[in-house]
Amino acid sequence: MALECVAVLGWGDSGSRASGLVFNGVRNSNRTPRKCVCRGGFSGLSGDSVIKSADNQNTGKSSNVNDVPGKLCKDLISLPKPLTVADFTVTPNDGTKVRISFKGLPGSFSEDAALKAYPKCETVPCDEFEDTFKAVELWLADKAVLPIENSSSGSIHRNYDLLLRHRLHIVGEVQLAANFCLLALPGIKADQLKRVLSHPQALASSDIVLTQLGVARENVDDTASAAQYVASNGLRDAGAVASARAAEIYGLNILADRIQDEPDIITRFLVLARDPIIPRTDKLFKTSIVFTLDEGPGVLFKALAVFALREINLTKIESRPQRKRPLRVVDDSNTGTAKYFDYLFYIDFEASMADPRAQNALGHLQEFATFLRVLGCYPMDATL
């Protein structure tokens, strides 16, 4: 079992700032990777400089790393190395695999999304969306991949609610064009199928082909579970809508490929992590926020204006009722008492938090929003 880690990280040269930032993290070094305890200012110092300052602290004398005897030198080399930008990159450079949690069985489209983002990752299948969050929170996984919206059926509302309930940060997005295949046991032909199992969204997106076949549709949790169920129960009258990778994993045949009604059905997934990434301006970044507003005419207009005024493009807006406080009671002496739904607004906008326009827009929004949280700032997926 790895040790729990607390690292105190120095940013820039200021000691006061350095001592202010405490986070839990995994430090990669060129020794056996493990969670480690690192304390001290790492600000802009080379490894040698750190060795020197440690030596100076012990002896009170000035020394040069080249002068120290072999034994001491060896001990010093085994000291933790200063954190570098590489420690914050998505893929460890020592060959260890990033562990990514996803909902579903191996072969599901969510696993495809994880593999698209991190081709060498180790995937961690989970039963429920909530478990993918917990896996990261409990250090069983480094990141979670979560579908958030789909070009044919829209937002996955439950996952918006989970983003708010948990404290993970959005660190990336993945857009995946799913290729839905009709799978069956080897030797079975399409006209022998009486029913087809899959995730409801895959069944809905393959409506034309399934209607032509005249089969009954059965919902299951994810596309790969459908394939696994047909294979492990040896079902000769049942097919599954799933990926080509699921066919390979569960030993099924592909009877038809690209059976979706529209040629491109895109699912957008979010990548979540315990720590946020450092926003940059040298490539396209997106920021996701959630906020609440007071009741009143034009308040949403005013909220959207903070972005329009700074020419910041919005890519998504979603509203969800506030579960804990669903109704707002408004008393008006003229019109009486009214009850309104109280909403959370989720917005994605095309700007990095390192961009002053984004900072000013959020500063402006904060002046009248009753609650505001930045869910993450992350590079846009421009691969499709």
Ligand X SMILES: O=C(O)C(=O)Cc1ccccc1
Q: Decide whether 40 or 104 has the Cβ nearer to ligand X.
A: 104
Instruction: Please say if 89 is a catalytic residue.
Output: no
Rounded Cα distance between 143 and 124, Å, is 10
Instruction: Please say if 345 is a catalytic residue.
Output: no
Out of 267, 307, 345, 349, the active site residue is 267
Parallel, antiparallel, or unpaired for β 7-8 and 285-292?
Answer: unpaired
Q: Decide whether 155 or 359 has the Cβ nearer to ligand X.
A: 155
Q: Which of 41, 42, 83, 109 binds ligand X (CB under 6 A)?
A: 109
Closest CA to 23 of 32, 35, 14, 31: 35
Q: Which of 40, 82, 104, 376 binds ligand X (CB under 6 A)?
A: 104
* 108 contacts ligand X (rule: CB under 6 A): yes
336-368: b (≥16 Cβ within 10 Å) or e: eeeeeebbbbbbbbbbbbebeebeebbebbeee
- Which residues, other chains included, contact 16 with Cβ-Cβ below 8 Å and sequence gap of 6+? none
State both tokens at 348: 């994605």
* 202 contacts ligand X (rule: CB under 6 A): yes
Binding mask 181-200 for ligand X (x = CB under 6 A): ------------------x-
Binding mask 63-102 for ligand X (x = CB under 6 A): ----------------------------------------
Rounded Cα distance between 25 and 35, Å, is 7
* 110 contacts ligand X (rule: CB under 6 A): yes
Q: Decide whether 108 or 123 has the Cβ nearer to ligand X.
A: 108
Q: Decide whether 184 or 220 has the Cβ nearer to ligand X.
A: 220
Q: Coil, strand, or helix at residue 290?
A: strand
Cβ–Cβ contacts within 10 Å for residue 26, how many?
18
The stretch near ligand X (CB under 6 A) out of 104-112, 231-239, 288-296, 358-366 is 104-112
Compute the least distance from the CB of residue 181 to ligand X, in Å: 12
Cβ–Cβ contacts within 10 Å for residue 250, how many?
23
Would the CA dihedral through 20, 24, 30, 31 be positive or negative?
Answer: positive
Binding mask 317-336 for ligand X (x = CB under 6 A): --------------------
* DSSP letter string, 102-138: EES-TTSHHHHHHHHH-TTPEEEEESSHHHHHHHHHT
* 28 contacts ligand X (rule: CB under 6 A): no
Out of 42, 133, 180, 269, the active site residue is 269
Residue count, binding to ligand X (CB under 6 A) = 13
* 224 contacts ligand X (rule: CB under 6 A): yes
Rounded Cα distance between 222 and 203, Å, is 11
Q: Which residues bind ligand X (CB under 6 A)?
A: 104, 108-110, 147, 178, 199, 201-202, 222-224, 267
